Amino acid sequence: MEAGTIRTSDLLRGLLDRTETEEITVADMLKPVGTRAHGLGLFLFALPEALPLPIAGVSAILGIPLIILSAHLLIFGSRRELPGSLLRRKLPGGMMRLALSKAIPILQKIERISRPRWQRWTSMERLLGLVCLILAIVITLPIPFGNLPPAICLAAISFGLLARDGVLVVIGLAGSVVLLGSVGLLADFLVGLFYTERTA
């Protein structure tokens, strides 16, 4: 799988090498992939939650960039340049090193089977932006162990966008439907339970 002319795993390996000696910004991270910046950004910011990593407060650190990227994709699509305030944001070196070191071997395996296909699904950028925005909001909620499933779905969708692989996008969307449906049913049950107790 190619991200522009660079394999995503090779790009991440370069980023991993840089985090050993210097801080990197979001702009440093996303510049090599051009118009696929939304896909790579969403993927990298979802990674620490999708793996998951033993880092306290990671949702608070990554939640806002995920929401900004998703909302920007929803409103403008992938052709509009990302906000400067986001591009100038510096990334925590330790967290990025841990996430990248764990992600690269996984990506190398995915890249062996991933390829551009079912590209009608990857072209629905604004719809995917909406789904990613909802998932990003769920990730930021203080739900014990509740961040992993939406992060995995978001990572699948965003990597599918980056790779132009509609199969991964469909897998991520299907998981999102199941996840959000389950959250809705749980919320309805809890509201009903609370209402029953109040009226008893």
Q: What are phi and psi of 162, to 5 degrees?
A: -65, -40
Classify 25 as helix, strand or coil: strand
pLDDT of residue 178: 94
pLDDT of residue 85: 82
The residue type found at 183 is V
Token look-up 């400067």 returns 84
Measure the CA–CA gap between 163 and 156, rounded to whole angstroms. 10
* Residue 55 · residue 100 · CB < 8 Å: no
* Residue 176 · residue 127 · CB < 8 Å: no
Measure the CA–CA gap between 59 and 150, rounded to whole angstroms. 12
23: number of Cβ within 10 Å: 12
Taking alpha carbons only, the member of 39, 32, 38 closest to residue 11 is 32
Q: What are phi and psi of 116, to 5 degrees?
A: -60, 120
Please, where are the H alpha helices in the chain? 8-19, 26-30, 37-50, 58-76, 84-87, 93-113, 119-122, 125-140, 148-163, 166-199
Please report, in tens digits, the pLDDT of each residue of the chain (200 residues total). 444 456 788 888 887 777 766 677 888 788 777 778 899 889 988 888 888 766 656 676 778 889 999 999 999 988 888 888 888 887 777 777 887 888 888 888 888 888 899 999 999 999 999 999 999 998 888 776 678 899 999 999 999 998 899 999 999 999 999 998 887 887 777 788 777 766 65
* Joined tokens for residue 175: 């998981």
Measure the CA–CA gap between 11 and 5, rounded to whole angstroms. 10
